[in-house]
Every structure is written in structure tokens, then in C-alpha cells.
Amino acid sequence: MTGSPPRPEAGLDSLADRDPRVPPEQLVAELVPPPRFADVRFSTYVPAPEHPSQAEAVAGMSAFGEGVVRGDSARKGLFRRRSAPSGPPGIYLDGGFGVGKTHLLSSLYHQVVTEGGRTAAYGTFVEYTNLVGALGFLPAVEALAPHHLVCIDEFELDDPGDTVLMSRLMRELVDRGVKLAATSNTLPGALGEGRFAAQDFQREIQALAGQFAVQRVDGEDYRHRGSPAAPEPLSDETVRRVATGREGATFDPFARVLAHLAEVHPSRYGAMVGTTSAVCLQGVGTVSDQMVGLRLVVLADRLYDRAIPVVASGVPFDAVFTEELLGGGYRKKYLRAVSRLSALARDGAALAG
């Protein structure tokens, strides 16, 4: 894609015109499960009988949560360090996309906070790295340390700086008695493979891996059981009609949104989509640039977190990334984005129906 992306029609709200500024204190206050997962519980997760690891994951996460709730009851003073737990201080859900890892992580948060009366923080990996950038390392530690549990969704190491930063942050939190829970598509000992010279950071990676007991979750992508991978794109006219007729919808050329994502830090994508009722994209095309693709992955995650339908023309979302990107070190991220965008596009097609 070359040249300046066209602007949307006058009178329509544009996602690419939004540049939210999030104060540091708001970053801390918003470390809670996203709206899509605000009401989930372990009881609402339905394990597939043909994949016993799903029921095992529910039992394992629930038992871990009970330990978090019980473990703090022996605390005798505000500044007394919590007693060291037996075994790893964290639990790590490893599994493919669409098997319900975020559902389980959110359920753990609600078990500890809503049912157990403890405190917890919940965020994605990129939100925690941004928190450190916004507050500074020690203030970020001080903001997280009072919690009994820190939940990290979409845990992944994309560059050496993140590796060193998260290794140090988690070590500081564990030293203060904070329990950890994370989800990822990659085993902790294999984080960073295919993305940078991970062998040069094995000490940090192994230190991260040592903080967790791994709970495997197998299964198929629940978003597409019995459904085609991606719906057929809509016409440009239909996309415009939905944008015009739906209050709170945004309307943008796809190329303009991609260009705008480069100007907004990924940690602010959630604030950017805000309370949008639908994202209408005209002319979705295939992405071949790695950085553009990774930014689109984060946007897809934030739209999915908030259950925002996507109404789109152009290519179907199972063709939005090139084969070269899908075959590289970020393959699992791109496949997760395809899964989530396709699900949101089905919701968008229903709106247009």
C-alpha cells in the first residue's frame, strides 16, 4: 500500500481520528478483565469431553485460586512479607488459540477477587510493559506488589528488552509474595524462539519459566466449531450503510486504520476503540509487513476483548496476512488474530443482515 490513505466520508466517526491519552493512574485502575470476560466463571467454561486437559485446566486453575485466597490468611501485618509458597509461585496455561485460556484466566481473577475478597491485577503482556514505561520500573513494582495475584494474558517475548524487563519485574513481584498466572501459545522455556537471538537470553527465559507450573490446554478453536473460518466480505455500500445507520459505529478505509496504528502505542488501542458499537472497514487488504501485521494483531485482540463487531469489505480475514507472515516466528499470533477477526466479522455480517 502506497500513498496517503483516503479519509472517510464527512459526518462519519473515524477510528483513525482517535488518539487517546491514558493517564498512568488510569492504566493501573484498568488492570481488570476486559468486558467480554467480565462475567465468566469456571462454572461457565464447558470442557470438551474429547480433550481431558480442558477439565484438568479448570481443576488446576481453581485449585491455584483457592491457594491464593488461603495463602494470604496467615498474613499478620501490612508490611510483613507473605510466607513463601511450596512449589512454583505461578501457573501458566499453554495451548493453542481458541481453547478458552483467557476465559480461564479471567475466571481465576474473579475467583480471587469477587469470591475470595482478595486483590488482583489483570492485563495483557503489552499492558504490563507499557505500565513500566509509563510509571518507571520501581513505581510499577510498587503499584502491583500489593496485589495477591497478577494475571498476564497473551504472554510472549517479542524482543530482548521485553525479556529482561519481564524477568526482572516478575522476580520482584514473586520476592514480595505475589502469585502469578499467565496464558500463552508457547511453552515458557521456548519463549522468543524464531523472533530474536533467544539463545543469548536463556538465563532470563529460564528464570521466567522457573516461576511457573505449566498447565496444558488442548482442543479446537471454539470460535469456529462447525463454522467456516471467515465469512464472505460485504460490499462497500453495505459497510457504509451499517456505519451510517448504527449509532456509535466508526467508518474507515482499512489502509488508513493501519497507518494510524503506527502513530498510537499498542497499549492505547483499547482506549481508542473505547465504546465503539461496530468497526466498519472498507477495502480490507492483505498485510505483508511484519510490524503492520503485529499492530493489527493487537487491535484484533482489543476489539475481541470488547466484543465489537467488524463490518468489512475487501478480502476475507483468513487472507489478511501473507503466507510468509503465517509461516514465520509470529505464526501463532497471526492465527489467533485471524480467528478473532473472523468471529467478529460474522457478528458484523449479522448486523448487516
- Surface-to-core class of residue 269, CB atoms within 10 Å of its CB (0-12 exposed, 13-18 middle, 19+ buried): buried
Residues 248, 192, single domain; the answer is: no
54 in a domain, yes or no? yes
Cell of 51: 480433550
Q: Is the pLDDT of residue 176 over 60?
A: yes
- Which of the listed residues 219, 249, 268 is the one where a domain comes to its end? 219
- Which of the listed residues 201, 219, 237 is the one where a domain comes to its end? 219
Predicted model pTM:
0.80
Residues 215, 312, single domain; the answer is: no
Confidence of residue 159 (pLDDT cuts 50, 70, 90): low
Span of 126-140, 183-197, 206-220 with lowest mean pLDDT: 183-197
Residue type, 308: I
Q: Give the closest residue to 48 by CA, choosing from 223, 224, 220.
A: 220
Span of 72-76, 187-191, 306-310 with lowest mean pLDDT: 72-76
Residues 211, 287, single domain; the answer is: no
Residues 66, 133, single domain; the answer is: yes
Instruction: Give the integer Cα–Cα distance in Å for 145 and 119.
Output: 10
Residues 154, 278, single domain; the answer is: no
Q: Give the closest residue to 265 by CA, choosing from 21, 28, 14.
A: 21
Beta strands in 202-265 (DSSP E): 212-217, 249-253
Q: Is the pLDDT of residue 337 over 70?
A: yes
Give the mean pLDDT of the chain: 85
User: Within 10 A of 297 (CB to CB), how many other CB atoms are there?
Assistant: 22
Q: Is the pLDDT of residue 174 over 60?
A: yes
Q: Give the closest residue to 256 by CA, choosing from 4, 9, 2.
A: 4
Cell of 223: 470460535
Confidence of residue 105 (pLDDT cuts 50, 70, 90): very high
Confidence of residue 85 (pLDDT cuts 50, 70, 90): very low
- At residue 90, the pLDDT reads 93
Do 97 and 91 contact (CB within 8 A), yes or no? no
Residues 342, 260, single domain; the answer is: yes
Do 151 and 123 contact (CB within 8 A), yes or no? yes
Span of 42-56, 176-190, 229-243, 335-349 with lowest mean pLDDT: 176-190
Please give the average per-residue pLDDT across 310-332, as a whole number.
Answer: 93
**pLDDT tens, position by position, 5-27:** 555 555 789 999 999 988 888 88
Instruction: Give the integer Cα–Cα distance in Å for 221 and 231.
Output: 16
Q: Are strands 179-184 and 90-95 parallel, antiparallel or unpaired?
A: parallel
Residues 117, 210, single domain; the answer is: yes
Q: Is the pLDDT of residue 282 over 80?
A: yes
**pLDDT tens, position by position, 200-255:** 445 666 677 778 888 889 987 665 555 556 889 999 999 999 999 999 999 999 99
Residue whose grid cell is 499492558: 127
Report the domain count for the chain.
Answer: 2
SS3 338: helix
Return phi, psi of residue 218, to 5°: -95, 170
266 in a domain, yes or no? yes
Name the percent of the chain lying above pLDDT 70: 83
- At residue 164, the pLDDT reads 80
- At residue 219, the pLDDT reads 86
- At residue 137, the pLDDT reads 94
Instruction: Give the integer Cα–Cα distance in Å for 310 and 304.
Output: 10
Tell me the residue range of the domain where 338 lies: 15-20+223-352
CA 92 from chain centre, in angstroms, equals 15
Instruction: Give the integer Cα–Cα distance in Å for 274 and 270.
Output: 6
What CATH number has the domain bearing residue 147? 3.40.50.300
Please give the average per-residue pLDDT across 331-340, as a whole number.
Answer: 89
Residues 175, 289, single domain; the answer is: no
Do 131 and 27 contact (CB within 8 A), yes or no? yes
Residues 94, 182, single domain; the answer is: yes
- Which of the listed residues 219, 239, 273 is the one where a domain comes to its end? 219
Q: Give rounded-to-5 percent helix, strand, coil for the chain.
A: 50, 15, 35
- At residue 348, the pLDDT reads 96
Helix (H) or strand (E) holding 150: strand 149-153
